[in-house]
Amino acid sequence: MDLQFECSDCGKKYDPKTFVWRCECGGLLDLEAFKIEFPIENIQQRSATLWRYKEALPFDPEYNAWQSITMGEGFTPLIQFRAESPGVLLKLDYIMPTLSFKDRGAAVLIAKAQELGATKVAADSSGNAGTSIAAYANRAGMACDIYVPESTSAKKIKQISAHGAKVHTIPGSREDTAAAAKSAVEKGDVFYASHVYNPFFYQGTKTYAFEIWEQLGGNVPEVLVIPVGNGTLVLGAYYGCKELLSLGLINRMPRFLAVQAEGCAPLAHAFESEKEVAEPVVNTGTEAEGIAIADPPRSRQILAAIRDTNGVIVTAPEKSIQSARLELAKQGFFVEPTTAATYAGFIEYVNHCLSGKMSSKHEPLFKSNPFASDAEKVVIPLCGAGLKAD
């Protein structure tokens, strides 16, 4: 399948075989539209991994090299938070081969990189994406360099190097780390396996929406709660829902409730002030290292996607992240602080809706308590495992 990348600013097309990661105009690259199919009877007979949706993934029908790379990622459980609140569903995306949802994107991206002829990849990450890229790249027989901020949890760094990647710890901000990876990519014949810039990563994360649709018996919930830093799950879930809509499998989009951390919330600020692009912020410190992105490159697309679903972007209060982590653990779900922040942001927003003190600017996502026994469905992802955090 000879798919082209297309610049989101000037429309210029590029062949992914050139390993290009950005348009010469500086614009972000997207994948051009391609024909997808959703043969549901076949899908339901396949094994419970994201590859069951292969006709909706950007590969030739005969392509099967993914079979030597896959670790069975995807089709994670969708579970009630607790029996008394059947509308609040948790999608356990930390039950993945490398313990975070990033395996969705990395499996598809590395399979594609192999098809394009890559033998050496590099990526920058706050931890989980780098771990995931490292694991799949090693499985695909590729050399791999991962750049992480010096402040990344020691356990994540250990996990990345255990997968055979060379880890570069970079002083300074997350943005300094990205700059270090980019300059290495510019110097050599390296495939930039970036979860932020490479459009193929989002082709993997879109399966998040397909799975929920299947698990809810051919439906999507009223609300999808999603953490947002660089937006790989927000945009993936958005693309996935859009595809379900265009295939006629659903007749409305779920509304998105995107969650940032109070200490680093450029998208929430842009949303509130009705901007189309986020202004970079200074990270004032957050427990949610996985969403601490001060200057997200795809901010325009993220903001447009959230608005298109009639959704909102909120912040999780720093002071409630640890207690949210304990609350989830008491129900049996041990997650990393970034994931606890997603839940904390949801609770904060629900309380805000129910207090009646909402500004009238946005129609509230919850008019009644989502924990009530007869509430509409809301799906919250648990994206990263608790044992990843120091």
Contact between 28 and 205 under an 8 Å Cβ cutoff? The reply is no
Q: How far is CA 166 from the centre of its chain?
A: 24
- Establish if 178 lies at the interface with ligand PLP (CB under 6 A): no
Q: The tokens of 125 are what? A: 């990450």
- Establish if 100 lies at the interface with ligand PLP (CB under 6 A): yes
CA within 13 Å, CB half, 207: 29
Segment holding 7, helix H or strand E: strand 5-7
Contact between 329 and 279 under an 8 Å Cβ cutoff? The reply is no
Q: Give burial (CB, 10 Å; 0-12/13-18/19+) of 164.
A: middle
- Establish if 102 lies at the interface with ligand PLP (CB under 6 A): yes
Segment holding 139, helix H or strand E: helix 128-139
Q: Which of 232, 283, 299, 315 is close enough to bind ligand PLP by CB under 6 A?
A: 232
Residues 39-98 that bind Zn ion (CB under 5 A): none
- Establish if 159 lies at the interface with ligand PLP (CB under 6 A): no
Strands 88-91 and 223-227: unpaired
Stretch that binds ligand PLP, among 135-143, 147-155, 286-294, 370-378 (CB under 6 A): 286-294
- 23-44 burial code (b ≥16 CB/10 A, e <16): beeeebbbbeeeeeebeeeebe
- Establish if 148 lies at the interface with Zn ion (CB under 5 A): no
- Establish if 300 lies at the interface with Zn ion (CB under 5 A): no
Contact between 96 and 76 under an 8 Å Cβ cutoff? The reply is yes
Q: Nearest-CA neighbor of 121 among 57, 66, 174, 197?
A: 197
Q: Nearest-CA neighbor of 333 among 380, 289, 369, 291?
A: 380
d(CA 35, CA 246): 11
Q: Which is nearer to Zn ion, 13 or 17 (CB)?
A: 13
Number of residues that bind ligand PLP (CB under 6 A): 19
Closest residue to bound ligand PLP by CB: 384
**9 interacts with, out of Zn ion, ligand PLP, none, CB within 5 to 8 A per kind:** Zn ion
Residues 355-384 that bind ligand PLP (CB under 6 A): 383-384
**10 interacts with, out of Zn ion, ligand PLP, none, CB within 5 to 8 A per kind:** Zn ion
- Establish if 146 lies at the interface with ligand PLP (CB under 6 A): no
- Establish if 13 lies at the interface with Zn ion (CB under 5 A): no
DSSP letter assigned to residue 28: P
237 residue type, one letter: A
Name the minimum Å distance from CB 279 to ligand PLP. 18
x/- map, 173-202, Zn ion, by CB under 5 A: ------------------------------
Residues 328-347 that bind ligand PLP (CB under 6 A): 336, 338-339
Q: Which of 74, 227, 297, 370 is close enough to bind ligand PLP by CB under 6 A?
A: 227
Three-class DSSP category at 74: coil
Q: Which is nearer to ligand PLP, 115 or 348 (CB)?
A: 348
Stretch that binds ligand PLP, among 16-24, 221-229, 311-319, 368-376 (CB under 6 A): 221-229
- Establish if 8 lies at the interface with Zn ion (CB under 5 A): no
Give φ, ψ of 104 to 5 degrees: -60, -50
Q: Which of 146, 261, 291, 350 is close enough to bind ligand PLP by CB under 6 A?
A: 291
Angle between helices 207-215 and 232-246 (to 10 degrees): 60
Number of residues that bind Zn ion (CB under 5 A): 7
Q: Which is nearer to ligand PLP, 309 or 339 (CB)?
A: 339
- The contact set with ligand PLP (CB under 6 A) reads 100, 102, 128-129, 227-233, 290-291, 293, 336, 338-339, 383-384
